[in-house]
Each structure stands twice: as structure tokens, then as C-alpha cells.
Amino acid sequence: MPEGPSVRKFHRLVTPFVGQQVAKTGGSSRKLCPADLQALWLRDVQVHGKKLFLRFDTGDETGRPGNSPLPEPLQKEEAGTWELGGQEIPVLPPGAAARVAAGSEGEGADASAGHAERWLQVGFGLFGSVWVNEFSRAKKANKRGDWRDPVPRLVLYFGDGGFLAFYNCQMSWRPHPVVRPACDILSEKFHRGQALQALGQAQPVCYTLLDQRYFSGLGNIIKNEALYRAGIHPLSLGSLLSPARLESLVDQVVEFSAGWLQGKFRGQRQHPQIYQKERCPAGHQAVRAALGPPGGFQRLTWWCPQCQPRLPPEEPGSLLPPGPGAPPGIVASGELDA
């Protein structure tokens, strides 16, 4: 899923629409009813880690100067469809039928937007994104050979003619945003002491880095890059690393994440040093394996055995496929990263 820097960019894309009224809605969402958003006002946008929070309300007394109520035709618009890549997507009017109970938008989507104020929580899938005033287009044919454009989960058209399209995301209504700046790696209030304490546990540091309770917004790319730049093997036990090494790792997490974010704002591509690389910058052969806690999610991980020695030292055969004598939490390479 998009990591913290990407979601911060989504936040910047959505922010200019704050103070505008939703004129009409569309999208393929089944559990969240897009029609519930029609005629509401977008009042605020907040970001935490890998999630966006959009606040809507029904009043217009705090609308931006020059933001007039919806024109009569939009207020009374009937249900219809618009076409995207040969597929018909519903445009929903107020009072549309209740949402379908089954769907893929995630838990907690049972609250209605009919209250005076609600927060829409948006969490993104692996290829989740936000598009402004345009739709995502297919870059290649699918497995069936069809050039079908991605279908947005939600589309919000605003009174000034602009629109937002949300792709591959899970949405649910919340009474308030779930924001914990102390664990957000891109927040000025990020708590280094809490992060260092978590990293010092007697478990591989690559497991701890992906724990959103301590490193919200940190994903697989940041994990790989921070570990390489700090010279730490992903399976090194945090309890065996010196305080200075742990400090260096936290520094690399924050510096890489901030640099990646600034690059996104400038339209620059991110250039990893070890992630998905065959060799490290020093020319050594990189190693790849799917790592994760026993019974937990396995993530493809790249590292350089020469530049990132393991603590305790790596045992012979530790990267063999699972079988008799294979250590837990290691899976043969070759799987697709999720």
C-alpha cells in the first residue's frame, strides 16, 4: 500500500477542495454509499500514517468566500451513469437505496453521513491513489488482454467543477479522526524515545519497523532503505544493537521518509539504493527473501550481507525454503511483494 510520503501527497491534492460542496457523487463502492456524501461540505482533511481523514458536514455557514450553494439542476439530479473505459459507473442522487452490506471497503462503514459532522477514513490498498480532475488510465492490458481503465471506488464532484477520484481504497465513517502524531514518522511530534524503546526488543528489527503502533506510515520501501543506510541486517535482534546503532536507524527512517516526501512534492522519482536491487551501491550481491514474524505477513526484503552483518551471526542455510530445520519467519525468495 502507499507509504506515508505518498499519503501526504494525497493530502496535499485534496486540501484545495476544503470549503467546497459536493455536487454529485459516483464510484463503484458497495459498502460505503457515495450518495450519502452528496450536498455535504468538505471542511477539513487530515493525514496520519497511511490514512486520510476527510471531515464533512451539512451546513454552509462556514463556506469559503464565493462558494455559492449548489445550482438547482445539481440539487435535483436523477440517478444515472457515466462511462469510464467502456464501463458504466453510477452517479447517485440524494436518497439512493441503502448501501449493500457486503463489500470490500473494510470494517466500520456502517455509520451514516446524515449527522451534522462526520469523518471519512480512507485507507489505501497496494495500488491505491487519488486523482484530481482526471481519471486513471490503463497502462497495460490485464490478464484477459483487455485494456480496461481502473474503476474509481469513489468520485466526488464539487460545485466549482473540479473532482476527486479515489482508487483501490477502503472507506468507513468515523466520529473523529484516529490521529497519533507521536508514532507518525512524518510528524513533527514523532516520539523518538518511544520508537527506540520498541526497536530495542529481542526480535528482528525488520518486524518492529513495520509495526504501525510505533512507526505509522513506514512501509516496505522505507524499511529496506533505512536498514541498508544504517548498515543493519533486517534480522538483527534489536536487543543486541547498541543505542548508537538504534539511533542511527531511527535517523535513517526519518531522513529517508522526509527526503522521499520532498521529492514527491517536486515531482522527482525516488531512487532506492537496495530495494529491488541485484547489487548494493558498493557492488556486492544483494540477497532477497520474504521475511516476517511467525504466522504473520511476509514482506520481500533486500539486503547486503557484506554491508549489513547480522546480530547474532547468520546461521548456515537460514535462507533456505521452509522445511525441517528452517528458522521461522523466513520464506524462499521469488514471491511477489504485497
Catalytic residue among 8, 288, 299, 310: 299
Q: Under 8 Å CB-to-CB from 102, ≥6 apart: which residues?
A: 30, 31
Q: State how far the Cα of 131 lies from the Cα of 166, in Å rounded to an integer.
A: 7
Q: H or E stretch including 197?
A: helix 192-199
302 neighbors 274 (Cβ within 8 angstroms): yes
Catalytic residue among 8, 50, 118, 288: 50
243 is catalytic: no
Smallest Cα–Cα separation from 304: which of 277, 330, 325?
277
Q: State how far the Cα of 215 lies from the Cα of 311, in Å rounded to an integer.
A: 22
Grid cell at residue 48: 496520519
117 is catalytic: no
Q: State how far the Cα of 314 lies from the Cα of 237, in Å rounded to an integer.
A: 11
- For cell 504466522, the residue is 295
50 is catalytic: yes
43 is catalytic: no
Catalytic (active-site) positions: 2-3, 50, 299
